[in-house]
Structure 1
Amino acid sequence: MAELIGPILDVIKFIGRHASKYLKFQRKFTEYVDDFNQAQADLRAKEADFQQQLKDEHHFGKMPKQEVQRWFKKVEQKLGHAQHVEDKISKGKYLFRSCLGKLVDEATQAMKEVHAEGNFSGGLVVNDPSAIAVNLLTPEVVGATNFRDEIFQYLMGDAVESIGVWGMGGIGKTTIMKDVHNRLLKESKFRKLIWVTVSQVFDIRKLQKDIASQLERNLSDDESTIVCAGKLSEMLKGQMRYVLILDDVWRSFSLEDVGILEPTTNNGCKLVLTTRSERVVESMGFKKVKVHCFSMEEAMNLFFSKVGQDMLPNPTLESLMKLAVRECDGLPLAVVTLAGCMRGKADPRMWENAIDELRGSIRNIHDMEDKVYGCLKFSYDRLQGIDQDCLLYCALYPEDHEIYKDEIIEKWMEEGLIDEMGSRKAMEGSSHSILQKLEENCLLERVQVRPCIKMHDLVRDMALHITRKRFLVKAGMQLEELPNEEEWGKDLETVSLMHNSISTIPKTMNCLKFPKLTTLLLSWNPLKEIPESFFEYFPNLKLLDLSYTHLESLPNSISSLEKLTVLLLMGCWCLKSLPCLSKLQALKKLDLGHSGIEKIPQGLEMLVNLRYLNLKRTSHLTGIPAGTLSKLCRLQYLSMHSKLRSAEELRELNKLEVFYGCFHNVGGLNTFASKRKTLYKFSILVCSKIDSFRPLTSSNFVRFKEIKIDVGDEIILPYGIEELSLLECKGMRSINEIGLRDATALKGCELRGCSELEFVFPSKCDQLQTLESLNLSEFESHS
């Protein structure tokens, strides 16, 4: 009996404890409900505070922390459950208060726990890695305040999803949208801003790829535009709230065909395009925002911001400036162009003459585009002849193409636009001066991120109009074959078909020869073969650019181009050999860099007028026959992949200014450096091994790699050396054992893996005064 009583008493005690708890819920039910309501109110208040804080912190390029997002989800769940409990309270009966009180208490404790978890150090947001937050570089915006504010308000509001900003060329549409874009960066409404320049030649695939690129994604070239449209649409859906700005649209198109989502209030997306055509905006159903010309006051403010306030003390000059600006009819591009042209001109007679010329250019012309052309033409006419030719040459590139400054300078020299000055250094200096002048006159635009220039659409249009009989320009037009024969005028001097998709040239062309044509640009085309008869049509060709084509060979008829001065075959990886070049006695430049040639072209040693020879990264080239280089006595530029068998050949090249190459040993370097005058640019590797060699790109650079340098060995460095590198060299105890006495311009020094080095510089060393960086690595410690 006793054995049963114990367990029974335990059960009674257990039931009693729970019974008392349930009686407590019954007795203090009102207190539990009050606590419940307070916990619910506290949690809602904290949630509201965090929502406001998140709104303040969640600017463009930021995103909520994951722990914050999880906390809000928990809050949503607990408050939802609390509402369910609240409904039960309102319907609950007195007899069931004990059970209901337990439910209320559990809900209360859960809300208090979530409330306590809401503690986030360092704010509520972090950087959003997927957001593209880049301030677009633009000059200080003067005027157009109304248009900028109108567009900004449309984007920030909910009434308008698609906006078409239209106006004539040069009115400032792009500048306005850059300013609006940068203002949006400071707001939290949008998660991503996407900027794409469309340009006159509309190409769906290019537009799709450009948008995808802004999203840091890629689209395959192998898939159709329909498939790409579907993929792009999914990419954009994943961005949530965004603004897509399409700059410089010339014709209407289907958003669906491209894969651009239709902006709606629900998806929170906005779409803006800029165009010169009102019809484009209307046909696409966008809200029209027309950009008008500046008022006279705005135009003067813009003009003075560009021409400089220092020219104002003279009242007569100021009144003449106003007359000149008035001729620009408030067009920003024309005003800026005029200011660039007349900057620094303080003679009133020059301004009077300028006004007369401006009025003559636009007399009886009412169309605004023609007025812009008149202003641009006026600026062009103020240039010297050589500057004009250099500007016109830039129009040979595709529209909106960013041209590297070094590249365009090289092109000017190839074309013979820069006067022969006896040295490349002098010619490059002259070219830089011209480039700067064209930039300052606003005829070329600087590209901020890279060392490039661009040509404004209207300036390019003007250039093509000026050269319409002499130039045939179809660059970047997605051509798959040569232009129609009727487009090849008999007076053509220059043809540019670069950056197209031309893969074949017809065997015959039903047209006459072109005796005036001197320049033919076919670079960046998938061209595989040139018919034997093709060059017969261009008997006076001087410059031929076939760079970055898929050519496997050249026709023998190229040897008949006896007036050819420039032959460019850079990047022709499929090209294994060339015909005999001995007849090309006028040739001054031969560029075979990055090509697939396996041996030096026959007859190269006979090209006694050659100034420029590029054999950089010709990894298949077996070598340069002895005696070849020494005969090219006028060579100014030499870049090689192969190591020289004998540096003695270079001793004959008295005009050499630029050298990129490699020597087998220190003796070869000494032979070269001891007899050389100061080089303008050089990059030299001294290495005994015959491993793959890529010429160093740094100017005035010498690198020793895996070379033994014994005490007492004489080493002669070229004058003007700025960078010195020694990698895994043996025998050397101090860098002073290298001939540093002439290294008066040394800025950087790298020493790596030189195991026998005891100290770098002696205590007294003049080179320490110019040295800016010293890199030491991979050394063994000496105990």
Structure 2
Amino acid sequence: MKCCLLYCCLYPEDYTIPKSRLVEYWFCEGLLNEFDRISEAQMQGDHIINSLIYACLLERAEESFDGEERVKMHDVIRDMGLWIACELEEKEKSFFVKAGAQLLEEPDVKAWEGAKRMSMMHNQIKVMRGTPKCPNLRTLFLSRNKFQAINDGFFQFTPQLTVLDLSRNSKLYALPKGISELISLECLDLSETGITELPMEMTSLTKLKMLDLSYMEHLERIPQNLISSFSKMQIFRLGDLPISDYHEEDNVLDWDNDNERLIEELKSLQHLNILRIPEIQNMSALQSFLSHHLFRCSTEQLELRDFRETNVFNVLCLENMERLEILRIGGCGNMEEMKMDKLHTRGSPSTNYTSGFHTLREVRISSCYKLKDVTWLFLAPNLRYLAIWHCSEMEEILSEGRLRDVADEVGIPYPTPFLNLQTLSLRELPELKSIYWDALPFPCLKRIYIEDCPKLKKFPLNSDSAKGNHITIKGERDWWEQLEWENEATRNAFLPSFQAY
């Protein structure tokens, strides 16, 4: 537990650390040595974090707008941790931390050649010119800099490097050739970098367990047979890529064929536990994807876009996705209904409506112009973030009639919706009249954003809703002044919450 605590000192002062990413780094570092699989190690990691919070060594930070849980370290605890890591263990010089130090250039390599863990994240460094000799270096955080280049020989003498975080360096367009030297690397985070292609030399990274390629707006090429060479891969994230016309036979990114080559290579990763893939663009591709047990069990984020041929979408085809946390549906201009077909077949006095979507925490639906409601969301009890934008025929979020039909079919009452919702964002829904027909408790609600919803005259709020929460409600002033409230007490209760756009 001491090593896990000191690991948090690698982050800058007051930095809010995503819990899931922290646990994944611990796992790749071997700090969670009870388990070989990340899905099991996450439980141990959560236990350690909760223990550190209980001991007041970590604090719960405010969750991000999308509901991702975060922690942070108090400045005094961080200073103490760095003192322990850097001073008491001075002989080993195991930690070198210059996170958030406003560095413009890399420090003298002599100062950190003996380090085991090093962080220079959150600085202004543009070029890494050195060729450090760091035989003991296991952890290197270089995220949130302004890198434009890294010397090809930079990794030549870092044979033990296990975790490398280069994320959020948007001007870094190419990996150094020396990346192939990192034969011990288990975790590589390239998210939000400007890298345009992955070099085939990465096949030498045979121990890689985690590869994050999220939000890489310039990534156009991944060589064929590269992904499948990572036989130990457990965490693979790839999404929010540019739609490119860069076509080559040996490139697994092939939009014209629904990235079939990529999917085929992913099938060979038998240890996969956490998966995020680029958007799926038609129903047949989705059905093919869901036909593989490995993908149903490991996918944490799914984006469905431009389902032009689909008028009715049975959302229950997704209910067996055991890890699904984020669902985005967009550009499905012909989709008129998201139905819950065959929900009644599960009905019995002991049925739990929500068993199928209990992991879902974020839903975004946009540009589904014919969709009239999203009543199925009552099946997601742990939903924290909901955004519905540009759905011109949307009339209700949850339909009273459809919910009553479901209750009649199943034979038990439906649960109270939105008990964990923190953020609600509704934009350009000109026909929207109702979110829910009755007041809801909203015990976790923090933020409401309403824009261009002129027919939405009532909120499902009363004076007891969101009690004890500091809520922000943003919208147009004209819309706010025309809202109808249950009573004057409710209006007065939420009046301080309003902020005009």
TM-score (norm 1): 0.41
**Equivalent residue for 1:569?**
190
Deviation at 1:593?
Answer: 1.4
**Equivalent residue for 1:232?**
none
Residues 437-586 of structure 1 correspond to what in structure 2 (within 5 A)? 437-447=51-61, 451-455=70-74, 456=76, 457-468=79-90, 469-490=93-114, 492-506=115-129, 509=131, 513-549=133-169, 550-572=171-193, 574-580=194-200, 581-586=202-207
CA contact (8 A) 1:559 1:584 kept: yes
Residues 133-148 of structure 1 correspond to what in structure 2 (within 5 A)? none
Deviation at 1:546?
Answer: 0.7
Return closer, same or farther for 1:678/1:504 CA change in 2, 3 Å cut-off. Answer: closer
**Equivalent residue for 1:695?**
none
CA contact (8 A) 1:585 1:606 kept: yes
CA RMSD of aligned residues (A): 4.4
Q: Distance in 2 between matches of 1:739 and 1:433?
A: 30
Match of 2:213 among 592, 605, 608: 592
Counterpart AA for 1:760: R
**Equivalent residue for 1:219?**
none
Of 581-590 and 615-624, more deviation after overlay is shown by: 615-624
**Equivalent residue for 2:488?**
none
Counterpart AA for 1:479: L
Q: Distance in 1 between matches of 2:186 and 2:147?
A: 22
SS for the counterpart of 1:592 is: strand
Counterpart AA for 1:526: K
Return closer, same or farther for 1:436/1:557 CA change in 2, 3 Å cut-off. Answer: same
**Equivalent residue for 1:169?**
none
Return closer, same or farther for 1:464/1:425 CA change in 2, 3 Å cut-off. Answer: same
Deviation at 1:655?
Answer: 7.8
Q: Distance in 1 between matches of 2:128 and 2:383?
A: 51
**Equivalent residue for 1:631?**
268
Return closer, same or farther for 1:585/1:448 CA change in 2, 3 Å cut-off. Answer: closer
**Equivalent residue for 1:721?**
357
CA contact (8 A) 1:678 1:719 kept: no
Residues 656-695 of structure 1 correspond to what in structure 2 (within 5 A)? 656-663=297-304, 665=307, 673=317, 679-686=322-329, 689=332
**Equivalent residue for 2:402?**
760
Counterpart AA for 2:227: L
Deviation at 1:528?
Answer: 0.6
Counterpart AA for 2:173: E
SS for the counterpart of 1:586 is: coil
Residues 219-298 of structure 1 correspond to what in structure 2 (within 5 A)? none
**Equivalent residue for 1:643?**
280
Return closer, same or farther for 1:531/1:448 CA change in 2, 3 Å cut-off. Answer: closer
Q: Distance in 1 between matches of 2:413 and 2:19?
A: 34
Counterpart AA for 1:632: L
Return closer, same or farther for 1:584/1:644 CA change in 2, 3 Å cut-off. Answer: farther
CA contact (8 A) 1:633 1:654 kept: no
Return closer, same or farther for 1:524/1:779 CA change in 2, 3 Å cut-off. Answer: closer
CA contact (8 A) 2:275 2:295 kept: no
Return closer, same or farther for 1:734/1:422 CA change in 2, 3 Å cut-off. Answer: same
Q: Distance in 1 between matches of 2:28 and 2:380?
A: 34
SS for the counterpart of 2:10 is: coil
Q: Which has the larger radius of gyration?
A: 1
Q: Distance in 2 between matches of 1:444 and 1:551?
A: 33
Deviation at 1:471?
Answer: 1.9
Residues 121-200 of structure 1 correspond to what in structure 2 (within 5 A)? none
The answer to whether structure 1 residue 611 and structure 2 residue 247 are counterparts is no
The answer to whether structure 1 residue 388 and structure 2 residue 2 are counterparts is yes
Counterpart AA for 1:428: Q
Return closer, same or farther for 1:779/1:767 CA change in 2, 3 Å cut-off. Answer: farther
Deviation at 1:476?
Answer: 2.0
Listed one character per residue, the Cα deviations across residues 158-205 of structure 1 (whole Å, up to 9, x for unaligned) are xxxxxxxxxxxxxxxxxxxxxxxxxxxxxxxxxxxxxxxxxxxxxxxx
Residues 303-452 of structure 1 correspond to what in structure 2 (within 5 A)? 387-419=1-33, 421=35, 424-447=38-61, 451-452=70-71
Deviation at 1:427?
Answer: 2.6
**Equivalent residue for 1:771?**
416
Deviation at 1:620?
Answer: 4.7
Counterpart AA for 2:87: H
**Equivalent residue for 1:376?**
none
Counterpart AA for 2:104: E
SS for the counterpart of 1:544 is: strand
Return closer, same or farther for 1:750/1:538 CA change in 2, 3 Å cut-off. Answer: closer
Q: Distance in 2 between matches of 1:598 and 1:739?
A: 34
**Equivalent residue for 1:653?**
294
Q: Distance in 2 between matches of 1:583 and 1:590?
A: 14
SS for the counterpart of 2:267 is: helix
Listed one character per residue, the Cα deviations across residues 480-534 of structure 1 (whole Å, up to 9, x for unaligned) are 22222331344x322211122221122x53x6x3332222211111111112222
Counterpart AA for 1:430: Q
CA contact (8 A) 2:297 2:321 kept: no
Counterpart AA for 2:297: L
Counterpart AA for 2:238: L
CA contact (8 A) 2:320 2:356 kept: no
Deviation at 1:443?
Answer: 2.9
Deviation at 1:628?
Answer: 2.8
CA contact (8 A) 1:565 1:588 kept: yes
CA contact (8 A) 1:520 1:541 kept: yes
Aligned length: 370
Return closer, same or farther for 1:759/1:500 CA change in 2, 3 Å cut-off. Answer: same
Counterpart AA for 1:480: L
CA contact (8 A) 2:26 2:32 kept: yes
SS for the counterpart of 2:168 is: coil
Listed one character per residue, the Cα deviations across residues 648-670 of structure 1 (whole Å, up to 9, x for unaligned) are 24515168344211246579987
Counterpart AA for 1:464: C
Deviation at 1:448?
Answer: 7.1
CA contact (8 A) 1:686 1:707 kept: no
Return closer, same or farther for 1:589/1:552 CA change in 2, 3 Å cut-off. Answer: same
CA contact (8 A) 1:504 1:529 kept: yes
Q: Distance in 1 between matches of 2:40 and 2:175?
A: 34
SS for the counterpart of 2:236 is: strand
SS for the counterpart of 2:149 is: coil
Percent identity, aligned pairs only, is 25
Q: Distance in 2 between matches of 1:501 and 1:454?
A: 23
SS for the counterpart of 1:601 is: coil
5+ residue gaps, structure 1, are: 1-386, 690-704
